[in-house]
Structures are given as C-alpha cells and as structure tokens.
Amino acid sequence: MSTPEITDSHCHLDFPDFEGELDQIIARAAAAGVTRMVTICTKMANLDQVRTIAEAHDPVFFAAATHPMSVAAEPMVTVEQLVALADHPKFVGIGESGLDYHYTADSRDAQIESLRIHIAAARQTGLPLIIHSRAADEDMARILTEEHAKGAYSCVMHCFSSGAELARAALDLGFYLSMSGIATFPRSQDLRDIFAAAPVDRILVETDAPYLAPPPHRGRRNEPAYTAHTAQVGAEIYGLPYADFAAQTQANFDLLFTKAAHGKATT
C-alpha cells in the first residue's frame, strides 16, 4: 500500500540548519509521503536564496514577506514589491507576516503597518496570506476582521497555537488553521481541543522546520518528513483513518494554495 501524500505547508529550507542537505531532506520527505513543501522567506534580503531553492526542487514552492520579529530591523516592504513576486510560477503565498508581542512588542506599530501591507498584497494578488501570531490575539483578530471588511482575502494561521477566540475569528472569516508539532506535545491538550472544534476542511499541516519537531524527534532539528507525525496526531484528533485525514488536508491545501496545486518548477 502506498504512503498517503501530505504537504508541509510551512518550512524554512533556506536556514543554515539544512545547508548542504536539501537533496537528502527532500528525499526523506518523499519517503514519508510529504510530496510538497512551501519554504518561507522571512526577510526580503533572503529572497534570492529562497527562490533558488524552489526553482531547483520540483516539490518545493515558496512564499515571502517580512517576519514581524524582523520589521524593526528591515526596510518596510511595499505592496508593489510583493505583488511583483506573484509573476513567478512557484511563488504561492504572502507571508509569513503578522504580529509577535512575545519578543518584539516594542515594534507593535511597525508590525501593524507591515501586516496591513501584506494583507493588501494578498488581496491584490489573490494569493493566501500566511500569518504568524504570538501573544497578540486581540489585535490580530481585530485587524484581520477590519481588513476583510475592506475586501476579501484568503489566509492561513500558520503554526496555530493561540487561543480559542482567535481561532473562531479566523474560521468565521473563512480562514484556515495550520497544525504544527506544537499540537503533538503532551501538554498541548487545550490546543488539540481547539483544533477538534474546528472544521476538518479548514486544517493544514506543517513543520515550521527546523523548529518544533514533534515526538519522537522533539528537541532535535525538525524537517519536512516529520509532517507525517503531526498529521498522525491530527487524524487522531478528528477520529479519522490517517489516509482520510491526509487526503482532507491535501484537498484543503489545494483549495487555499491554488497556484501550488497546479504548479511545477520552471528553472
């Protein structure tokens, strides 16, 4: 029986943790059923490197943004810069953008400005917005809702680990929640309960590699192959056979990341 296919909807293959190993990492992913991955550029200065990785590997797509924790130290990206990237056949999302008040609350105003720029680019391109949110639930729910009222856009709450109210606000807007290794940790029952209350047709899976490796790899470098461990927990949360949950997350990814659903490498 073949291994069910899944997609790592969020990883960071340009990080030094993977240097010189990408061929092996992508091969291990394929063996685990992870046949696609979206690698995320978190600083526009790193765009060329991220784009090159996507161009060199058929299963890899890319997205780009200024990460909220980098906003204070980076030039403010423009809507025009982000929109221009949409011409690339493997550029499939706007992100990760968002708000992080856990480490960088002092740049709150700049983060909000940046987030609104990224939302405008998602709206204009029709590509999904990829959101990072930490310790900012109230502002995040308010801004996403305000901006959606100005004009619809699609969105995934990447590595969702926030509260139930933000989950509900996102779902009410038609957005998706992405399940990372955090959902597999023993102490994450409250988070698993939030996912269980969400419709299964709004769920994606991801690694956020090299971070947040799920058991049995917790505490070590994460990589796309380990998406399968998170998806196994997801199947348990929803009481589904693994193959059925995998197929559902594939369908969800294809509906949100429509460009990746049909894209191929063009080098």
Cα torsion 248, 249, 254, 256: sign = positive
Q: pLDDT tens across 68-86, in order?
A: 999 999 999 999 999 999 9
User: Residue 3 — φ and ψ, nearest 5°?
Assistant: -75, 130
Q: pLDDT tens across 189-237, in order?
A: 999 999 999 999 999 999 999 999 999 999 999 999 999 999 999 999 9
Task: Round to whole Å and give the CA distance between 32 and 4.
Answer: 8
Q: Would you say 87 and 118 are in contact if contact means Cβ atoms under 8 Å apart? A: no
For 109-136, the DSSP string reads HHHHHHHHHHHHHHHHH-PPEEEEEES-
Note the pLDDT of residue 267: 31
User: Residue 134 — φ and ψ, nearest 5°?
Assistant: -145, 125
Give the pTM: 0.96
Q: Which residue do the tokens 């046949």 mark?
A: 35
CATH number of 6-262: 3.20.20.140
Burial class (CB in 10 A: 0-12, 13-18, 19+), 185: middle
What length does the chain have?
267
Q: How would residue 266 be classed by pLDDT, with cut points 50, 70 and 90?
A: very low
Q: pLDDT tens across 92-142, in order?
A: 999 999 999 999 999 999 999 999 999 999 999 999 999 999 999 999 999
- What's the mean per-residue pLDDT of the chain? 96
Domain-wise residue ranges, the chain: 6-262
